[in-house]
Amino acid sequence: MTELHELPAVALQDQLRQGKVSATEAAAHFLARIEQQNPLLGAFITVTADQAMEQARAADRRRPHAPAEELPLLHGMPLAFKDLTDVAGVVTTHGSAALDHKPALSDGPLAALLRERGVVPLGKTQVPEFGLTAYSENRIAPPSRNPYALSRSSGGSSGGTAAAVAAGLLPFAPGTDGGGSIRIPAAACGLVGLKPGRGLVPAGESLGDPARLVVAGPIARTSADAALMMDALVPVPESASPGRGGGEGGYLAGLKEEPPKLRIGVTLDSPWSGTFPFSPEQEALEALEAGRKLLEHAGHAVAEAGIRYDNRYPDAFTTAWTAPVGSARINPHRELLLAPLTRTFRRRAQQRSPAKLFEALAFLRTFQQDTLTQYAQWDLMLMPALAQTPRPVGWFTGTMHGADRWPAAQWPGDADGDYRKQCEYAPWSSMVNVCGLPAITLPVHWTGGHAGQGVPMGIQLVGPMGSEALLLRVGNQLGY
């Protein structure tokens, strides 16, 4: 008999809406898996078992009084929010030891939206401090680990969420992405991660976002599950024309449509190459070749695309990305509790003039237009999701040999080395946020040769504005 955590999210959703599985059964099942596996995995910072069971019982009480078609789309579905998102009555830590950890007074926009859709939150997942990094390690809870290799990181900043979904602690979950924070952990954990385009989904919570980088989107095991999450995040208005939301009826219904034959440009070019020259690992190139073959077998035309990026990008992006941490409200007496990278970025942000930030934002707008013009020659852009295999826990911070000991009393203070490693690890992520474009990662390759063997490696497909449904259809066409 198939256990609940083995069901695709779309199948579990159907069983919950039909009453074949109760919300209480689903919540209890996933909470038991969290209790069993989280001590090794580090996916959750906070588990809200009592609140979850209370909300699940309330959902079950509503169910007999409403036919299935009148229930919320995600009636009784268990999920969790990363610990940058406010959930009423639950502490939001932002992954930081420097903040007072007080329960949130109300739901943030993302939690409020999904609560309206009927979800049952089980807790808060592990994040890096303020969501700043491509790994989910901090000073307040054990690091989030990769379910396929516990010595390795699950990525970041939605690393705890991705680890939980990959390990079957959640059927699927929302992440937020301001520089790769959905796609990086999804790729590291062998999942489908979709970053929607700018403005489509209510903004992901952050300390501030002057460049409008952050957006919420799904982390899921399949494109179909991701499409279901998108239907919850982007409800289809009754007045919408056919094609809105991936086809008449929504993103999930739109998967019934085969995508058209596409012209896809493949590239290894990155805007970080001038500042941080890097060479993709062989596993990244193998993933790219696997993705290319799958796309060509599906009938798409894939050809080399040379993209030119302005070498001023790294400085401008870093200025915009780190500006919010400079203005965060942190008691001066507690700043020493910040991780070295956060403390360094905060100091530099505070030393910059407003004119420097304005200049960086103006450059990024120009960079966006130039990049969009080049991408417009193709229907989609193809590149590796990551340049390296999932990194060992502690590798970025230089605490690899003491990663099992937390909180790390003295993390090395090499913030610039840490940041450089991140940019070399995920060099094709942040420019997608700057351009406001949709992008999807697909787990097309495993280093052991077969799914579940070794560690996963993926590809990233980037589309024009409004192509979320197309990206999901392509992912579904390729079998993911």
What positions carry a catalytic annotation? Answer: 82, 157, 181
Identify which of 240, 214, 204 has the alpha carbon closest to the alpha carbon of residue 111. 204
Identify which of 398, 381, 275 has the alpha carbon closest to the alpha carbon of residue 339. 398
Is there a cis peptide before residue 22, judged by omega within 30 degrees of 0?
no
Going by their DSSP bridges, the two strands 301-304 and 215-220 should be labelled as unpaired
Question: Which letter, b or e, does each residue of 187-203 get, where b requires 16 or more Cβ atoms within 10 Å of its Cβ?
Answer: bbbbbbbbbbbbebbbb
> What number of residues does the chain have?
480
Cα gap 186→385, rounded to integer Å: 9
Cα gap 33→432, rounded to integer Å: 35
Rounded alpha-carbon distances, angstroms, from residue 259 to 263, 442, 474:
12, 16, 6
DSSP 8-state assignment for residue 60: H
* SS3 at position 162: helix
